[in-house]
Amino acid sequence: MKYTQLGRTGLKVSRIVLGTMNFGPQTDEADSHAIMDAALDAGVNFFDTANVYGWGENKGRTESIIGNWFAKGGDRRDRTVLATKVYGNMAGDGPAWPNHDRLSALNIRRAVEASLKRLQTDYIDLYQFHHIDRATPFDEIWQAIDVLIQQGKILYAGSSNFPGYKIAQANEAAARRGMVGLVSEQCLYNLAERRVEMEVLPAAREYGVGVIPWSPLHGGLLGGVIRKQTEGGRRASGRSAEALENTAVRAQVQAYEDLLAKHGLEPGEVALAWLLTRPGVTGPIVGPRTAEQLTSALRAVELDLGDEVLTALEEIFPGTGPSPEAFAW
């Protein structure tokens, strides 16, 4: 497994991030534990979760599955760089009580304690703000984070789904307090969705913030979905199915699959490998439902796409261009 440093920290993390969103809703606890063991044995040390994962009445279930895995011992916790998130309403499917969601100092304090209990650990390596909170000033957020760092309950803070200007605001506010600030940004980024290249990625590079792309296969669209349908395998569903109803998108995905078939490459592995070539990317988040899906993702780390394939991918999925030139008419 290849490793890199998380943003401007000294923390070394694997180039593949194990996403745990499916643990609980789609993958039972025993299989989830087996996947985490396999990932750790393969050298994957960076695990990502969130307090709301489990969803609905089962919010927090995913953190509990991870906590039970840590409780098995075997240095599992010591070998893992653990990331979780705060923001979402934890009150089941109903409305949140005041101060039981978002990023007020009170909710951050409550959410950390609840996550630590579910995760059965006394510290979180990377505590991420799941979304921006327009109602809470960054000075309040950083004051709460500073206390948690002093208490040893978290080590670093990161963001998720932040626009570029919020990354700048957050880190400028942290700098005024003499704090490190955000060390990572978790964002939607893949071959088919490259808008973050305009402002989010430049802001992240400017502030030394690592980038952790989520949905690297764009909801399965980049995982060989047309070929699988043709071969009678799993059919596209949800957003992927809706996207393929668009003639232009379907033609684009078909061209992508044809290119990779020509070179004997697997679409899902290529989508991950392409992200690993992007400047500033720490590692994409993979959310395997099975051990086989994890094995496929691991192969992407060693995959060398070559100039011919990279050039062809750029032609099929053109980027936005550099900022600010991309904004010019």
298 contacts 289 by C-beta, under 8 angstroms: no
Catalytic residue check, 53: yes
The token pair at 200 is 């989010």
For residues 218 and 188, what is the distance between their CA atoms, to the nearest angstrom?
8
pLDDT at 36: 98
Q: Give the Cα-Cα-Cα angle 232, 236, 240 (nearest 5 degrees).
A: 155
| Each residue's pLDDT expressed in tens, for the chain with a length of 329 residues | 999 999 999 999 999 999 999 999 999 999 999 999 999 999 999 999 999 999 999 999 999 999 999 999 999 999 999 999 999 999 877 777 888 899 999 999 999 999 999 999 999 999 999 999 999 999 999 999 999 999 999 999 999 999 999 999 999 999 999 999 999 999 999 999 999 999 999 999 999 999 999 999 999 999 999 998 887 766 666 677 788 889 999 999 999 999 999 999 999 999 999 999 999 999 999 999 999 999 999 999 999 999 999 999 999 999 988 888 888 76
Interhelix angle 29-41/291-301, nearest 10 degrees: 20
Peptide bond into 324 cis (omega under 30): yes
CA 279 to chain CA mean position, Å: 16
Q: How many angstroms separate the Cα of 69 from the Cα of each of 31, 36, 75, 86, 118?
A: 11, 8, 11, 21, 11
- Answer for the pair 183, 157: CB distance below 8 angstroms, yes or no: yes
- Collect contacts of 34-40 with beta carbons under 8 A, ≥24 apart: 34/291, 35/288, 35/290, 35/291, 35/294, 36/66, 36/69, 36/76, 37/69, 38/291, 38/294, 38/295, 39/294, 40/76, 40/79, 40/80
The reported pLDDT for the residue numbered 288 is 94
pLDDT for the residue numbered 94: 73
pLDDT score at 18: 98
According to CATH, the superfamily of the domain at 3-219+268-304 is NADP-dependent oxidoreductase domain (3.20.20.100)
Enter the pTM of the model: 0.95
Count Cβ neighbours within 10 Å for each residue of 245-281 and write b for 16 or more, e otherwise: eeeeeeebbeebbebbeeeebbbbbbbbbbbbebebb
Active-site residue, selected from the candidate residues 53, 87, 207, 256:
53
- Provide the pLDDT for residue 236: 60
